[in-house]
Structure 1
Amino acid sequence: MSLPIVVHQLIKTKASFISRHLTPDKLAKISTLLPFSFNKKLIEITLNTILKEQIIDNCFDFLTNKIVLINIKDADLNIGLSFSHKKLVCLYFSQLKQIADAELSINTPDAICLMLQEKDPDTLFFQRKLSINGDTELAHQLKNTIDAFDPETMPKLLKLLLGKQVNT
């Protein structure tokens, strides 16, 4: 068996194990125990990498001097995002809601399906699985920008982990 096949099998096995044992609520509890600086860096590197094309095309300029709260309801997790100096910035990561200009609330499986473009954000909105509060224009701009995201730009390991999380 070749090395790439062995590595691929190892990744699949670990992804399956991780997704089975790290439910959204457990992952949120673990992640909020980690230092904010670690979570901030992880979120910023991930988002700025996978959304690089949209950032280059100035698609997130509307977030400059604004804060959008992403509330992952089933994980009881709140992530505050903004845009500064051509980068998405994580302002907070906690189980406490904080002040924001707009809020998007969604459960983990629906958020993953949204990122993988397996579900349409408008459908989730009308099914009341995605709720928007505060500055609705700002929230809709973010929703539409996420909808234009190409999941093929996402690292394969991340797609595999996300896909396993939805299918468990």
Structure 2
Amino acid sequence: MLKPRAHLLKLGERLLPLAARTPFTLQRIALERSLNQVFAEPLADHAFEALEGHWMRLEVVDLKLAWCLSCDRQKLRIAEQAPVQVTIRGNWREFLLLASRQEDPDTLFFRRRLVIEGDTELGLAIKNLIDSLDPDLLPSWLWKLLQGAGQEVALTGRAQPVGA
């Protein structure tokens, strides 16, 4: 019998690829609303100022998902295409390890499991921003879910370099 975290990971492996079939407009609406709500406090404190007037592309290679992200007047904005200055690319498991704090961001980038291309100074500022965000900003159920799934990925060691 699968452990609950292993079951959750298996379910994620089946459901996450369906996100690529979701119309971009729905992805944008869901992401903008969620991100702006969850990060309302850091946005009000200008924590995302590195993205003011700049676009970052976030690519989840193995899921064939990508979003362009910017900050405009203390609101995060999502676009399908934009004149990006930096791209951060990786597989979903690596982003999960990053979000759940199961792996140090520097290790993920050093081992090329996450890749920054373009304006590396902006990319490093964004990496530092992500690393500085307080997990307590997330609803407790979501943080527990992320931690559990991240721990399972860390235990199974199935995270891989980009493109592998």
TM over 0.5: yes
Alignment of 1:147 with 2:131, yes or no, is yes
Q: Number of aligned pairs?
A: 149
How much has 1:163 moved relative to structure 2? 3.4
Shifted more, 74-83 versus 143-152: the winner is 74-83
What TM-score does the superposition give when structure 1 sets the normalisation length?
Answer: 0.76
**Which residue number in structure 2 is paired with residue 21 of structure 1?**
11
Partners of 1:132 and 1:106 lie apart in 2 by: 9
**Which residue number in structure 2 is paired with residue 135 of structure 1?**
119
* 2:142 counterpart (134, 153, 158): 158
Unaligned runs of 5+ in 2: 154-164
Query: Larger Cα Rg: Structure 1 or Structure 2?
Result: 1
Secondary structure of the residue aligned to 1:81 is strand
* 2:39 counterpart (43, 51, 60): 51
Whether contact under 8 Å (1:19, 1:164) holds in the other structure is no
**Which residue number in structure 2 is paired with residue 3 of structure 1?**
none
> What is the CA RMSD across the aligned residues, in angstroms?
2.4
Unaligned runs of 5+ in 1: 1-12
Give 1:47's aligned amino acid: L
How much has 1:46 moved relative to structure 2? 2.1
How much has 1:98 moved relative to structure 2? 6.7
What is the aligned-residue identity percentage? Answer: 29
Structure 1 runs (4+) greater than 6 angstroms displaced: none
Whether contact under 8 Å (2:101, 2:147) holds in the other structure is no
Partners of 2:102 and 2:85 lie apart in 1 by: 28
Secondary structure of the residue aligned to 1:23 is helix
State how 1:1-168 maps to structure 2 within 5 Å.
19-23=9-13, 26-28=15-17, 30-92=18-80, 99-166=83-150, 167=152
How much has 1:105 moved relative to structure 2? 1.1
Secondary structure of the residue aligned to 2:54 is coil
1:17-64 Cα distance to aligned partner (Å, 9 max, x none): 65422317x523x22322322211211122222322321111212212
Whether contact under 8 Å (1:16, 1:161) holds in the other structure is no
What TM-score does the superposition give when structure 2 sets the normalisation length?
Answer: 0.78
